[in-house]
Amino acid sequence: MISKLHYISQGKTPLEHLENIEKACLHGADWIQLRLKNLDEESILSTAKKAREITSAHQVKLIINDYCKVAKQVEADGVHLGKTDTCPAMARKELLDWQIIGGTANTLEDCKALVEKQVDYIGLGPFRFTTTKDNLSPILGLEGYTQILDNLNSNIPVIAIGGITLTDVVDILKTKVYGVAVSGEITSDFNTISAFQEQLKTSKLANLLKQNQHV
């Protein structure tokens, strides 16, 4: 099952990433993506092995950003692929049959392409400007999510990503988004994990009840 809250790791060094992953686990995160940039694959593999040890001890799912071979080698729960990374269809052949594949999208066309390639979830964004990613795609905002999800005929979970804060959750879920991925706000205060989880739970339930009233 795809979590409604994805924590994307942050840190100036691999050690900081691991420390933050440990903190996220201790504060109740159930889905963590290890996102390391500008490092050689050997360093990423070494860090991923340690991240796998931490998340396994807490029974938390671990997703590796970009690196299929690393995800397979450390037996992570899956991989998240950017638009310029390995094709999801090719990754499916490389990975173990139980491993999850997520893909990044910025447009309706991106989403449709990922649906055809049978990803397990779509990371759609950015919601707003964020400093955690270089070469940022066009900002979507609530209007962008609404337009895309109203025209995407698929049951694949869509995760909103990019500068999301706790106060955004209610409005984002009204666009039919399944869940959110958060990096900066959680890293600055890991106590917000439980607040995000509660907000996702109650907001989703409220939206479902509202939809049922109109059936």
Residues of 54-84 as b/e, b for ≥16 C-beta within 10 angstroms?
Answer: bbbebebbbbbbbbbbbbbebebbbbbbeee
Residue whose pair of structure tokens reads 């809250």 in the numeric block: 5
Cα separation values, 142 from 41, 134, 173, Å: 36, 22, 10
> Rounded CA gap, 156 and 214, in Å?
23
Return the biggest CA–CA distance within the chain: 54
Measured in whole angstroms, the distance separating CA 91 from the mean position of its chain's CA atoms is 17
What's the start-to-end Cα distance of the chain, in Å?
27
The confidence score (pLDDT) of residue 214 equals: 39
Q: Which residue from 184, 202, 179 is spatially nearest to 30, judged by alpha carbons? A: 179
Question: From first to last of its 215 residues, what are the pLDDT tens digits of the chain?
Answer: 899 999 999 999 999 999 999 999 999 999 999 999 999 999 999 999 999 999 999 999 999 999 999 999 999 999 999 988 899 999 999 999 999 999 999 999 999 999 999 999 999 999 997 666 555 678 999 999 999 999 999 999 999 999 999 999 999 999 999 999 999 999 999 999 999 999 999 887 667 555 544 33
Q: Are 176 and 149 in contact (CB under 8 A)?
A: yes
Q: Which residue from 82, 20, 25, 70 is spatially nearest to 46, judged by alpha carbons? A: 70
The confidence score (pLDDT) of residue 145 equals: 97
> Rounded CA gap, 10 and 22, in Å?
12
> Rounded CA gap, 180 and 108, in Å?
18
Sequence letter at residue 201: K
The confidence score (pLDDT) of residue 203 equals: 81
The confidence score (pLDDT) of residue 212 equals: 45
> Rounded CA gap, 68 and 57, in Å?
22
